[in-house]
């Protein structure tokens, strides 16, 4: 047991840290509006291009495909350093962390040659067409259908909660191709062109005001059969491969943001009054801040244990689910503590740049996105504890 | 980075697990619980033969001088078996003697402790039941080359078993640690009947008890007390993790075998989610306890903070795991007959021992609110946080 970084992990960190300090661009300062959205996207594409040119895009990918073959621990350090450096987020994240690894695992050689390089460079942005209005937690019941017509599939149906669809060039799309078999057995995974005729995208605005995800409609969209990833009617196992990659991301980056947020709250309590003294001297406030602190610290420790365990086993297990439940619920509790401490100021759009009101509302989605807390608890019950399936 | 037990540490833990499964069954725990002292001399000697009373004793005094991660591994298994007796009390005293005793005092106590020949405890709490060392009020009066102790200490664990009781008292402005033999004239020990009878606590009354001045442990006594509490707290947290694991395992097993509506109750999500929460609570407790053990061993600057993080979490989590475990069991879980009661009550006595969650949260606040926090916390690349005093 040694929680210090090994010399090679330190070397990796120092190298990336040095690169970041020379390359992180001036932060995008303006609020994103419909007028400047294109500029913002161009800015984020340039940032990913710069990472790519520096050799820092897709670091978990094998060297053969343009990655660095980074260890899990290095990936965790990478995410952490990005956040510590206040670097812009990665616009190609779905391609880098989800689609790319799945193509590497299951794709034909021509597919790898065609799709992997532009994912790394940020020239092609991907989205993930999984959820549907009637297939959320029960993903395998999806109904978007693809019917064979010569060398093409003709796709009809609707996807929802599709992040990045409004800017995406391609979609990792799950469709039903066999209508007779059991629900898990008739699914196929397609690499679908988002610019094809018949694809339309409608942005959905979130409670927080963000417009990060979308509804996507497919109306007689032709997708060549060569665009099947994995095998026809075996798309469920392709989806599981993709989701494993998603859940193996243990959230070292987001924790830096949580820490920054908590430190800002602690600093705030020193300047606001509560019963005639600084809030930071109030025993109840102190208890709540300490609870928020210790919960975040335990998240860090759980992460380090999960990283160790994943590094040794090499197989993503239920660690991701445990992490997801913990951080999402913790963030909601901490955001509520901030609201309690700040009172009506916490709700203001122009107090501390509105970070508290935004953080509170945004955290509401944490226990729903990327697998609800309920689904994650089912996974823990079944895969960690071996309890019988409930459905 | 490697946050996992090493092979020898895993082996030690496995050995301890099998040992207690064999030598401290639930039936034996119940017998001890119903006895006056909850002390089993044969079990104690066997534990000493395994080297567990010698874990943190220096090699010079016949000890193993092991790290606190090793201690935590053994303590976790004691917690899983709900082992009664003076292990934690003696450990607390051992840590205190290591830190505040001069070489002669160390030799006098530590070698027999390591061999299993001497049991010890620490008398610290008073009527206020406050673990803050500054709140200690009982005085030792100096009379020539003798200390004269009068007053009483409360909630003293295993006082009726311990051969020596280390009393934390005030001599003038200074805190001194006065070792008192249990059999000395003027000392009265009275059991305080309490919820968790696997861990006996006592009122210890001093009526002009005389101790040679030279016997007092003085080296940085106040600081030594705080540091010894930290070490004992780490062992307690690990013990609590073991208790949580027992409740979790027992509850999951029950949920798989108990049928209602023609199905195992563990197939219902309402039950599954209780169990999943128990996993989160228990694993988080384990992360916090072992990190604190490692940090204290490595003299990490933030080790004291890590101890409070662990105790604050474990205090709440053990109780909560107990609540969920009993709830999933239903009526049978609420019976005297079911062993859950042992752990449910152990959770409560552990919750307050060495300071409850609120006590440790205030200590955390004194580190992270009163001292300027760093601008951003690192997750993997460096152990976190502002240096704890």
Say if the Cβ atoms of B378 and A80 lie within 8 Å: yes
Q: How do residues A150-179 score in pLDDT, each as one tens digit?
A: 999 999 999 999 999 999 999 999 999 999
Mutate to test the interface with A, among B278, B281, B379 (most CBs of A within 10 A): B379
Pairwise CA distance, residues B155 & B74, whole Å: 25
In chain B, the residue whose alpha carbon lies closest to the alpha carbon of A324 is: B280
Q: How do residues B59-89 score in pLDDT, each as one tens digit?
A: 999 999 999 999 999 999 999 999 999 999 9
Residue B389 is predicted with a pLDDT of 32
DSSP A198-211: TEEEEEE--TTS--
Distances (CA, A) of A322 to A273, A371, B282: 38, 12, 11
Find the CB nearest A305 among B3, B309, B365.
Answer: B3
- Mean pLDDT rounded to a whole number for chain B: 94
Find the CB nearest A387 among B255, B284, B294.
Answer: B255
Find the CB nearest A6 among B1, B267, B370.
Answer: B1
Pairwise CA distance, residues B301 & A390, whole Å: 47
Find the CB nearest B275 among A9, A256, A387.
Answer: A387
Q: Please give, rounded to a whole number of angstroms, the shortest distance from the CA of A339 to a CA of chain B.
A: 18
CB proximity list for B209: less than 8 A, separation 6 or greater: B148, B149, B150, B180, B184, B185, B186, B187
Range with lowest mean pLDDT among A271-275, A339-343, B34-38, B230-234: A271-275
Residue B182: pLDDT over 90: yes
The answer to whether residues B168 and B133 touch, using CB atoms and an 8 Å cutoff, is yes
Residue B384: pLDDT over 70: no
Mutate to test the interface with B, among A379, A381, A382 (most CBs of B within 10 A): A381
Say if the Cβ atoms of B312 and A386 lie within 8 Å: no
Q: Give A315's pLDDT tier (boundaries 50, 70, 90).
A: confident
Residue A28: pLDDT over 80: no
The mean per-residue pLDDT over the stretch B192-217 comes to: 97
Say if the Cβ atoms of B380 and A303 lie within 8 Å: yes
- Using an 8 Å CB-CB cutoff, list chain B residues near A13: 381
CA atoms B102, B103, B109, B110: torsion sign = positive
- Using an 8 Å CB-CB cutoff, list chain B residues near A280: 369-370
Percent of chain A at pLDDT > 70 equals: 98
Pairwise CA distance, residues B353 & B235, whole Å: 12
Q: How do residues B254-265 score in pLDDT, each as one tens digit?
A: 999 999 999 999
Instruction: Please check whether residue A112 touches B, CB under 8 A.
Output: no
Instruction: Please check whether residue A34 touches B, CB under 8 A.
Output: no
Report the complex ipTM. 0.94
Q: Please give, rounded to a whole number of angstroms, the shortest distance from the CA of B272 to a CA of chain A.
A: 5
Q: Please give, rounded to a whole number of angstroms, the shortest distance from the CA of A70 to a CA of chain B.
A: 15
- Using an 8 Å CB-CB cutoff, list chain B residues near A388: 256, 263-264, 266-267
Say if the Cβ atoms of A1 and B361 lie within 8 Å: no
Say if the Cβ atoms of B275 and A305 lie within 8 Å: no
Say if the Cβ atoms of A76 and B379 lie within 8 Å: yes
Say if the Cβ atoms of A263 and B376 lie within 8 Å: yes
Find the CB nearest B6 among A1, A84, A325.
Answer: A1
- Using an 8 Å CB-CB cutoff, list chain A residues near B362: 283, 286-287, 290
Say if the Cβ atoms of A267 and B373 lie within 8 Å: yes
Say if the Cβ atoms of B379 and A309 lie within 8 Å: no
Which is it for strands A126-129 and A170-176: parallel, antiparallel or unpaired?
A: parallel
Find the CB nearest A390 among B272, B361, B362.
Answer: B272
Size of interface A-B (CB pairs under 8 A): 201
Residue A254 is predicted with a pLDDT of 87
- Using an 8 Å CB-CB cutoff, list chain B residues near A77: 380-381
Instruction: Please check whether residue B373 touches A, CB under 8 A.
Output: yes
Q: How do residues A64-120 score in pLDDT, each as one tens digit?
A: 999 999 998 999 999 999 988 989 989 999 999 999 999 999 999 999 999 999 999
Which is it for strands A152-163 and A213-224: parallel, antiparallel or unpaired?
A: antiparallel
Residue B387 is predicted with a pLDDT of 35
Say if the Cβ atoms of B377 and A298 lie within 8 Å: no
Which is it for strands A228-229 and B263-264: parallel, antiparallel or unpaired?
A: unpaired
The answer to whether residues B75 and B238 touch, using CB atoms and an 8 Å cutoff, is yes
Of A38 and A77, the structure prediction assigns the larger pLDDT to A77
Say if the Cβ atoms of A76 and B375 lie within 8 Å: no
Find the CB nearest A1 among B3, B271, B377.
Answer: B3
B227 CB neighbour count, 10 Å cutoff: 20
| pTM of the full structure | 0.94
Tell which phi-psi region holds residue A69, choosing left (phi > 0), alpha (psi between -120 and 50) or beta: left
| C-alpha closest to that of B319 among B286, B290, B288, B350 | B350
Pairwise CA distance, residues B11 & B5, whole Å: 9
Pairwise CA distance, residues B141 & B172, whole Å: 8
Of B174 and A318, the structure prediction assigns the larger pLDDT to B174
In chain B, the residue whose alpha carbon lies closest to the alpha carbon of A294 is: B309
Residue A249: pLDDT over 80: no
Say if the Cβ atoms of B380 and A307 lie within 8 Å: yes
Pairwise CA distance, residues B37 & B86, whole Å: 9
Q: Give A33's pLDDT tier (boundaries 50, 70, 90).
A: confident
The answer to whether residues A210 and A362 touch, using CB atoms and an 8 Å cutoff, is yes
**Catalytic residue annotation of A:** 246
B 22-81 residues with CB below 8 A of A? 69
């Amino acid at each position: 047991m040694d929680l210090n970084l090994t010399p090679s992990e330190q070397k990796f960190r120092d190298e990336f840290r040095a690169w970041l300090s020379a390359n992180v661009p001036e932060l995008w300062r303006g609020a994103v509006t419909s007028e400047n959205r294109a500029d913002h996207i161009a800015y984020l594409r340039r940032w990913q291009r710069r990472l790519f040119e520096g050799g820092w895009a897709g670091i978990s990918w094998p060297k053969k495909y343009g990655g660095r073959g980074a260890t899990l621990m290095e990936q965790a350090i990478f995410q952490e350093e990005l956040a510590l450096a206040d670097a812009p987020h990665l616009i190609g994240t779905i391609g880098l962390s989800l689609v790319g690894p799945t193509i590497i695992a299951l794709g034909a050689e021509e597919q790898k040659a065609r799709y992997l390089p532009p994912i790394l460079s940020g020239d092609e942005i991907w989205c993930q067409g999984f959820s549907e209005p009637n297939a959320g937690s029960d993903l395998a019941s999806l109904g978007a259908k693809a019917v064979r017509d010569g060398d093409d599939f003709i796709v009809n149906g609707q996807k929802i909660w599709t992040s990045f669809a409004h800017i995406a060039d391609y979609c990792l799309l799950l469709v039903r191709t066999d209508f007779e078999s059991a629900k898990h057995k008739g699914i196929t995974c397609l690499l679908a062109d988002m610019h094809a005729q018949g694809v339309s995208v409608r942005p959905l605005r979130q409670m927080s005001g963000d417009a990060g995800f979308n509804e996507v409609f497919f109306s007689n969209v032709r997708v060549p059969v060569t665009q099947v990833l994995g095998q026809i009617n075996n798309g469920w196992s392709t989806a599981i491969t993709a989701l494993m990659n998603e859940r193996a991301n243990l959230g070292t980056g987001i924790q830096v943001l949580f820490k920054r947020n908590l430190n800002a709250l602690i600093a705030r309590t020193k300047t606001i009054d509560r019963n005639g003294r600084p809030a930071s001297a109030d025993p109840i406030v102190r208890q709540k801040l300490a609870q928020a602190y210790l919960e975040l610290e335990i998240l860090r420790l759980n992460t380090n244990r999960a990283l160790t365990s994943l590094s040794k086993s090499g197989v993503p297990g239920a660690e991701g689910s445990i992490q997801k439940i913990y951080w999402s619920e913790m963030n909601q509790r901490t955001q509520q503590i901030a609201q309690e401490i700040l009172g009506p100021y916490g709700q203001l759009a122009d107090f501390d740049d509105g970070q508290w009101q935004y953080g509170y509302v945004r955290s509401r989605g944490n226990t729903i996105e990327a697998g609800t807390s309920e689904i994650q608890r089912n996974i823990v019950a079944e895969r960690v504890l071996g309890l019988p399936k409930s459905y | 980075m490697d946050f996992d037990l090493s092979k020898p540490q895993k082996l030690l833990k496995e050995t301890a697990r099998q040992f207690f499964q064999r030598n401290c069954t639930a039936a034996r725990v119940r017998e001890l619980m119903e006895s006056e002292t909850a002390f089993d001399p044969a079990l104690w000697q066997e534990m000493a033969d395994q080297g567990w009373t010698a874990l943190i004793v220096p090699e010079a005094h016949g000890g193993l001088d092991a790290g606190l991660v090793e201690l935590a591994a053994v303590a976790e298994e004691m917690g899983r078996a709900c082992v009664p007796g003076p292990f934690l009390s003696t450990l607390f005293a051992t840590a205190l003697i290591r830190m505040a005793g001069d070489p002669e005092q160390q030799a006098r106590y530590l070698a027999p402790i390591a061999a299993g020949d001497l049991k010890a405890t620490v008398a610290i709490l008073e009527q206020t039941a406050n673990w803050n060392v500054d709140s200690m009020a009982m005085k030792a009066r100096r009379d020539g080359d003798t200390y004269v102790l009068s007053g009483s200490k409360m909630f003293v664990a295993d006082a009726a078993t311990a051969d020596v009781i280390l009393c934390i008292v005030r001599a003038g402005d200074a805190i001194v640690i006065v070792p008192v033999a249990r059999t000395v004239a003027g000392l009265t020990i009275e059991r305080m009947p309490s919820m968790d009878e696997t861990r006996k606590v006592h009122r210890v009354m001093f009526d002009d008890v005389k101790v040679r001045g030279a016997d007092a442990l003085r080296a940085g006594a106040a600081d030594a007390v705080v540091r010894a509490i930290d070490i004992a707290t780490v062992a307690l947290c690990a013990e609590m993790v073991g208790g949580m694991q027992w409740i979790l395992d027992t509850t999951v097993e029950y949920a798989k075998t108990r049928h209602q509506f023609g199905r195992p109750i563990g197939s219902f999500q309402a039950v599954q989610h209780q169990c999943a929460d128990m996993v989160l609570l228990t694993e988080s407790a384990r992360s916090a306890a072992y990190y604190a053990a490692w940090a204290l061993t490595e003299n990490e600057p933030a080790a004291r903070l890590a101890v409070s993080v662990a105790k604050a979490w474990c205090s709440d989590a053990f109780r909560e795991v107990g609540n969920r475990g009993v709830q999933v069991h239903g009526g049978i879980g609420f019976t005297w007959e079911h062993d859950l009661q042992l752990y449910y009550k152990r959770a409560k006595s552990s919750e307050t021992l060495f300071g409850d969650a609120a006590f440790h949260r205030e200590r955390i606040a004194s580190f992270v609110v009163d001292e300027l926090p760093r601008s951003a916390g690192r997750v993997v690349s460096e152990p976190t946080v502002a240096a704890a005093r």
